[in-house]
Structure 1
Amino acid sequence: MSELPISSPYRSTPDGPVTDSEREQLSARLNTAYADGRLDADDYQARLDTLFAASRLGQLVPVVDGLPPATTYDSPAMVAPGSGTPGQLSEARDARRVSIGVIVAVVAAVVLVAILLVVLLSLA
């Protein structure tokens, strides 16, 4: 029995055609799983053979069954892996750059308000 949810396109639309894009994505997932040691050489080769022989999505169930789910989003740069371990403090921001940014924003706001006041007073 497959571990795939019924909402998976491989189970919900088993008669749908296999596109080149689908083959490329699954091939990349298989390569990653093999490189990570999740698949042995025989299983990897058998899944690749099934992938490239399939013409319908339902035939791909044995290929994707047991693979980690595909990533459907990108991690924001702020939480991207490799930026440290959980709980590790990040490098401090340069206080001068932050304070200059704040000063520039305040000055811009004051100038904008002054221009608006001059325009409004000249119209009155």
Structure 2
Amino acid sequence: MSNLPISSKYRSQPHREVDEAEREDLTRRLNDAFTKGDVDGDTYRTMLDQLYSAQTLGELVPVVEHLPVKSTHAEPTMVRQQTNTAPGELAPAGMNAKTAQRIGVALGGLGLLLILVLAVLL
């Protein structure tokens, strides 16, 4: 029995053909696991053989089960810890560079519009 969740494409779509992007992604993950020491040399070679001989996603289950869980989302900016605040303290409000740039462009556009309106009225 597999320890992958039933929602995993390897279990829910086991007959789907393996495409090249899938092989590249799993190869990259397998190489990373080997580099970090999570997979030994013999297991690495065995899994690499399974990865490149597999025709369907279901045949990749033994490979995927040995790999670390793949992160499917990025950490939201507002959740990230500020380095200059102590635990329990509120971080000062701020804005990122893109927001500041957009506000600057909008204010510049409003200023130009105001100048044009005044020029027409006078």
TM-score normalised per structure 1: 0.66
- Structure 2 counterparts to residues 16-55 of structure 1, below 5 A: 16-55=16-55
The structure that has the greater radius of gyration is 1
* Cα contact 1:3–1:66 (8 A) shared by 2: no
Query: Where does residue 116 of structure 1 map in the other structure?
Result: 117
- For 1:25-104, list aligned pairs within 5 A: 25-73=25-73, 86-89=81-84
Task: Look up the equivalent residue of 1:8 and give its one-letter code.
Answer: S
Q: Structure 1 residue runs of 4+, over 4 Å off?
A: 73-76, 101-108
Q: 5+ residue gaps in structure 1?
A: 80-85, 90-100
Looking at structure 2, the residues matched to 104 and 15 of structure 1 have their Cα atoms a distance apart, in angstroms, of: 53
Which stretch shifts more, 107-116 or 59-68? 107-116
Once residues 53 and 68 of structure 1 are traced to their aligned partners in structure 2, the CA distance between those partners, rounded to angstroms, is 21
Give the letter aligned to residue 55 of structure 1: Q
CA–CA distance in structure 2, aligned partners of residues 33 and 103 of structure 1 = 45
Q: For residues 28 and 103 of structure 1, do their structure 2 counterparts lie closer, same or farther at Cα, with a shift above 3 Å needed?
A: closer
Deviation sequence 1:60-116 (CA, Å, 0-9, x none): 00000032233445678x79xxxxxx5424xxxxxxxxxxx8888756533322313
Summarize deviations over 1:30-77 as a string: whole Å, max 9, x none: 00011011111111111111111111110000000032233445678x
- RMSD (Å), alpha carbons: 3.2
Aligned-residue sequence identity (percent) comes to 44
**Structure 2 Cα separation of the partners of residues 50 and 44 of structure 1:** 10
